[in-house]
């Protein structure tokens, strides 16, 4: 089934095999002796325990070629899973903090993305995320550093440790992004409360909410999201691995669809959470008995919620 993937952290597609290959090439020593030993570390208790490993493994990404290879490997896998369009997050601050220039990151990723329509049959967009556990000033500096590259960036996003870092902290940088003509998204309502989803909508003016599963705790919020048909990029396997839900059979996705929310299915950090986007669809089908028609609705929603040009989007609907 053709689909768009709208919630995908490119750094979260770093498979152990590529991590070890890049470590060897760049002379970086990983705190794991083998790929199996690394995989054994993938048992997370919450978002923070995952983020600790996610940021540590990024040490192997150093050159433009590294970023291009990472993105190309994702695109090859994504196509095998039916992805025709991918809107891809990256975390510039996680790289600039290690001395990797933002131009190296954007240059490498764009090289792979520009080749993707011909090489993999996938169109793409790039979404630059700010780390919400870093300061508002750091986000502003990052935005200014990215200004020369904004022609390659479609939207800004907000990710990393949610609780204690409300969207309102980033009011200013989102205002600048909107002024520059960028779309806006933000992670909200993953581990954080419904109030953070309200702030993302009303203070940041986002076009989509990433995750948003906790919106169900607030009836008025659900009514607002339904009325405005704000897309929610839900990541079922991620929610299980990070213990946002106990098991897939308990996932609120069916309740979200029943409420009339514009839900999409995505893989988040597929190298860490046990599956790419079709794997998420298949797991949902098995655990929640989602029928064929519901799966088609979810796939159609993914194009509807995308930042593709109207004519291209319409052709998929």
List the beta bridge partners of residue 133: none
Q: Assess contact for 8 and 87: CB atoms under 8 A.
A: yes
Between the alpha carbon of residue 74 and those of residues 18, 142, 276, 307, the distances in Å are 11, 25, 9, 20
Work out how close the CB of 268 gets to ligand ES4 at its nearest, in angstroms, rounded to a whole number: 5
Q: Which stretch binds Zn ion (CB under 5 A): 122-130, 169-177, 216-224, 266-274?
A: 266-274
The single residue listed with the structure tokens 């903090």 is 97
Q: Which residues from 275-294 bind Zn ion, rule CB under 5 A?
A: none
Annotated catalytic, 190?
yes
**Which token pair is 90?**
């990256």
Write each residue from 216 to 255 as x if it is in contact with ligand ES4 (CB under 6 A), else as -, in one continuous string.
----------------------x-----------------
Task: Tell me which of Zn ion, ligand ES4, none is bound by residue 241, counting a contact when its beta carbon lies within the kind-specific cut-off of 5 to 8 angstroms.
Answer: none
Active site residue: 162, 190, 191, 199, which one?
190
| Identity of the residue, 51 or 222, whose beta carbon is nearer to ligand ES4 in the bound complex | 51
Residue from 8, 10, 12, 81 touching ligand ES4 (CB under 6 A): that is: 12
User: Which residue, 84 or 199, has its beta carbon nearer to ligand ES4?
Assistant: 199
Query: Does the annotation place 9 within a ligand binding site?
Result: yes
Does 5 engage in binding with Zn ion (CB under 5 A)?
A: no
Token pair listed for 311: 């004519």
Residue number with the shortest CB distance to Zn ion? 268
Q: Is residue 286 packed enough to be buried (19+ CB in 10 Å), middle (13-18) or exposed (0-12)?
A: exposed
Three-class secondary structure of residue 234 per DSSP = strand
Q: Could you give the 3-state DSSP secondary structure of residue 278?
A: helix
Considering only residues 244 through 263, tell me which ones interact with Zn ion, judged by CB under 5 A: none
- Residue ranges in 142-201 that form contacts with ligand ES4 under rule CB under 6 A: 159-160, 187, 190
Q: Say whether 120 counts as a known binding-site residue.
A: no
160 binds, among ligand ES4, Zn ion, none (CB under 5 to 8 A by kind): ligand ES4
Q: Does 58 participate in binding ligand ES4 (rule CB under 6 A)?
A: no
Two tokens at 307? 């930042």
264 near ligand ES4, rule: CB under 6 A: no
Instruction: Report H helices in the chain.
Output: 16-26, 35-39, 47-57, 64-80, 92-96, 102-120, 136-146, 171-179, 194-202, 219-227, 236-241, 253-258, 270-273, 277-288, 292-304, 310-316
Number of residue whose CB is nearest ligand ES4: 159
Q: Which residues contact 71 (CB under 8 A, 6 or more apart)?
A: 10, 88, 108, 109, 112, 113
91 is in an annotated binding site: no
Which residues have a catalytic role annotated?
A: 190
Contact set with ligand ES4 (CB under 6 A): 9, 12, 47, 54, 159-160, 187, 190, 238, 268-269
């Amino acid at each position: 089934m053709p689909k768009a993937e709208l919630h995908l952290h490119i750094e979260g597609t770093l498979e152990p095999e590529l991590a070890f290959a890049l470590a060897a090439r760049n002379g970086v020593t990983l705190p794991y002796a083998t790929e199996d030993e690394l995989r054994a570390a993938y048992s997370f208790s919450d978002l923070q325990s995952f983020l600790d490993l996610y940021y540590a493994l990024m040490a192997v990404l150093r050159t433009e070629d590294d970023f291009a290879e990472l993105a190309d490997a994702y695109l090859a896998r994504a196509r095998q899973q039916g992805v025709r369009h991918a809107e891809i997050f990256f975390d510039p601050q996680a790289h600039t903090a290690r001395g990797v220039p933002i131009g190296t990151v954007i240059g490498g990723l764009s090289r792979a993305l520009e080749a993707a329509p011909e090489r993999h049959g996938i169109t793409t967009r790039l979404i630059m995320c700010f780390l919400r556990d870093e300061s508002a000033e750091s986000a502003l500096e990052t935005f200014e550093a990215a200004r020369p590259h904004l022609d390659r960036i479609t939207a800004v996003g907000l990710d990393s440790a949610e609780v204690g870092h409300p969207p309102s902290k980033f009011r200013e940088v989102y205002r600048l992004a909107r002024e520059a003509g960028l779309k806006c998204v933000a992670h909200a309502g993953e581990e954080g409360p419904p109030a953070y989803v309200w702030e993302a909508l009303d203070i940041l003016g986002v076009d989509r909410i990433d995750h948003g599963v906790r919106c169900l705790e607030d009836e008025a919020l659900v009514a607002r999201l339904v009325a405005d048909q704000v897309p929610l990029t839900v990541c079922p396997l991620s929610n299980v691995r990070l213990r946002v839900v106990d098991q897939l059979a308990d996932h609120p996705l069916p309740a979200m669809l029943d409420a009339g929310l514009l839900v999409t299915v995505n893989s988040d950090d597929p190298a860490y959470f046990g599956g790419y986007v079709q794997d998420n669809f298949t797991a949902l089908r098995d655990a929640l008995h989602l029928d064929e028609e519901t799966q088609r609705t979810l796939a159609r929603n993914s194009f509807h919620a995308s930042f593709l040009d109207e004519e291209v989007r319409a052709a998929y609907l």
